[in-house]
Amino acid sequence: ITGMREIESGAIFFNGRDITKTSIRDRIDDGIAHIPEDRHKRGLILDYTMEDNMVLKVYKNEPFSKNGLINRSKITEYANNIIETFDVRSGEGGKSMARSLSGGNQQKGIIGREVQSNPDLLIA
């Protein structure tokens, strides 16, 4: 359903639409969110800040970018809202590198990012 594995047979319908051959990006845009089992390999980019990790799925969308230009202040605002709402504890808030957070706080960040997207389907 998440698009992480190739489908071997059958079809996947979501919200009345065949998504069997759609890309992961299209599935995200269709309202499917995923909290991965392995937060280090699939959930976060450890060498990115938490700010950047919070917008991995939406950085191309307004208000985070327009005409190819990134709006850092909107990213900071969005990320800090997730960090505060989901009590992600880090020394420097959104400016902290993902690898510097405890495993539990990394997981809270991932959960916050996925829930914040207000998905129609959340797979955990």
- Banded pLDDT at 5 (limits 50, 70, 90): confident
Q: Which of 91, 10, 99 is nearest to 52 (CA)?
A: 99
Q: Measured between alpha carbons, how far is 24 from 88 in angstroms, rounded to an integer?
A: 26
For all residues of the chain together, what is the average pLDDT? 94
Domains plus CATH for the chain? 13-123 (3.40.50.300)
Q: Measured between alpha carbons, how far is 54 from 48 in angstroms, rounded to an integer?
A: 10
Alpha carbon of residue 57 to chain centroid: 5
Summarised one tens digit per residue, pLDDT across range 61-114 is: 999 999 989 999 999 999 999 999 999 998 899 999 999 999 999 999 999 999
